[in-house]
Chains A and B, each alone.
Chain A
């Protein structure tokens, strides 16, 4: 998009031969792909293709039966979600999973939980180091609030916000963890054109300014083709295509999957 975009670097995350099934249902079979540092990577596919399951595997929420995931050169079979999170992977959710009873600011502050160290006792007294830490993180969160242009709603309980803003707060909460790899599950679902444009701008800015690697699932093909560096296409849990947006667009298997084909 802009000239300052960083070139894709070494492989950050490598997924090899991942297979996942729930009982008799094969959600993912033999999926492999690589995500390079600093790139915007998209996973697309029709409904039920296994895209969200793929993210859940990367997250450590699902444990695939076969295959391996290599992140920053470390291969793992099973990993707990909190270990994944502490290694710098954050995500947003398809159907917004904000903490509805809390304010925007508190939601974003919660995103920094892993970075905070003060123990129970120090916090209970809220004096000295604990207070100082709280304020430092508040300052960081204010930068995110500033970046996402949500200053006016920082004290509003998120349950009361409109959908588009909730999506934005959720992005803010993920950014608060200062992730190296940001997983976005349909960041633009259900948005109008203007909101989509804003969201695209935020995603690209995150990618530019912080160098965050983005892996997103999205159904809006216009958006995907415009902002992705590379795309992988899933259908019925299998990988049917991968490559630059133009390659994928002209891939016959992909066109068949989306438009349907007569058997």
Chain B
């Protein structure tokens, strides 16, 4: 009823090419941003910030990264966890060697390191597709994880063989390390994630996004139209790994506060892959939906029954969330391969014509 575009005429291609051509969508985004930037920092508890919002945003960013590769370009990757790890280790090395440079610069710079590694492991993608490519990226996962364990140089020869996040400041504000407040870290994560989502949305709505989707939908036709497959696919690997790398660096520096090689194991890769499958392949919004569901569900299962006076054992909660996520993945693969994002789209379409569907 309220969600209707009737009467909103577009008189220029700028207006028609906009990412949110419908006015109600623009209001919706404005409200979400307002809540994220104002309401949550003022009203949210430490728990909400530290245990819910920060990881949710970081995983959303990783899911966007994987979605650019798998959802938009159609290249299945199981190396997300490792690429996140590359970002984290690169950031740690960079900030240990050049402590005077601001950590925010290094978080972004570590994305470029991950992008370079991503290009390297993306090279087989010219020849192989689908499951075979997934296996090739699996090699990246295991090889890189092996490097994290076996190369002590990466962790500055720490006895613990783990990343220990040092304290870094922006002026007087402590950004990382044990003394930083969840609020500061939340704001940093939020700004980075919002800006990078905006950039990703611009990329996928432009020429490069169309080339990626062309390669996904019909690689031979794309090639005969003059799209060079290898550079296009490698660019997708680079941008995707960049996003994953930044997400990994933030995961360690702005959430965990420390990490060892096992943080970036194969489970992490699957975790992010499940997010984009459930959220929606080929949709940026889907990355957020998927991260919210996969990450939020265990939290809900842990706290809601307790609030209702139905205390569950923590092991039960864990099993339950495995069960629910598993069922959801099977459900979405069969019923709606485009995930929650498509359901959302259908709901909007229905609303648009309601109550006269014809």
Shortest beta-carbon distance from B346 to chain A in Å: 13
A100 to B207, CA, bound (A): 17
Report the nearest B residue to A170, measured CB to CB: B221
- Label chain A's interface by main secondary structure: helix
Do A113 and B235 contact each other (CB < 8 Å), given the known contacts A61-B220, A125-B199, A125-B202?
A: no
In the bound assembly, the distance between CA atoms of A134 and B206 in angstroms comes to 7
Q: Cβ of B14: which chain A residues have Cβ within 8 Å of it?
A: 131, 135
- A98–B211 alpha-carbon span in the complex (Å): 13
Q: How many residues of A contact B (CB 8 A)?
A: 39
Query: Do A118 and B211 touch across chains, with their CB atoms under 8 A apart?
Result: no
Chain B: interface residue total (CB-CB under 8 A): 30
Chain B, range 176-228, C-beta contacts under 8 Å to A: 199-200, 202-203, 205-208, 210-211, 213-214, 216-218, 220-228
Question: Please, how many angstroms separate the alpha-carbon atoms of A124 and B206 in the complex?
Answer: 8
User: Which residues does chain A contribute within 8 Å of B118, judged by CB atoms?
Assistant: none
| B206 near A100: Cβ-Cβ < 8 Å | no
A106 to B203, CA, bound (A): 14
Q: Are B225 and A113 in contact (CB under 8 A)?
A: yes
What are the residues of chain B within 8 A of A130 when measuring CB–CB? 206
Say which one of A82-90, A239-247, A254-262 lies at the interface with B.
Answer: A82-90
Question: With A90-B225, A110-B225 in contact, is A124–B282 under 8 Å at CB?
Answer: no
Would A124 and B220 be within 8 Å (CB), given that A85-B225, A101-B213, A177-B225 are in contact? no
Give min CB distance, A65 to chain B, whole Å: 20
Interface positions, chain A 123-171, Cβ under 8 Å from B, are 123-126, 130-131, 134-135, 138-139, 142
23 cross-chain CB contacts under 8 A? A80-B228, A81-B224, A81-B226, A82-B223, A84-B226, A85-B226, A97-B220, A100-B217, A100-B218, A101-B216, A102-B214, A109-B207, A110-B210, A110-B214, A113-B227, A116-B207, A120-B203, A123-B206, A123-B207, A124-B199, A126-B202, A135-B14, A138-B13
Q: Which of B's residues lie within 8 Å of A, judged by CB? A: 13-14, 17, 199-200, 202-203, 205-208, 210-211, 213-214, 216-218, 220-228, 235, 239, 282
* B-binding residues in A (CB < 8 A): 59, 61, 80-82, 84-86, 90-91, 93, 97-102, 106, 109-111, 113-114, 116, 118, 120, 123-126, 130-131, 134-135, 138-139, 142, 173, 177
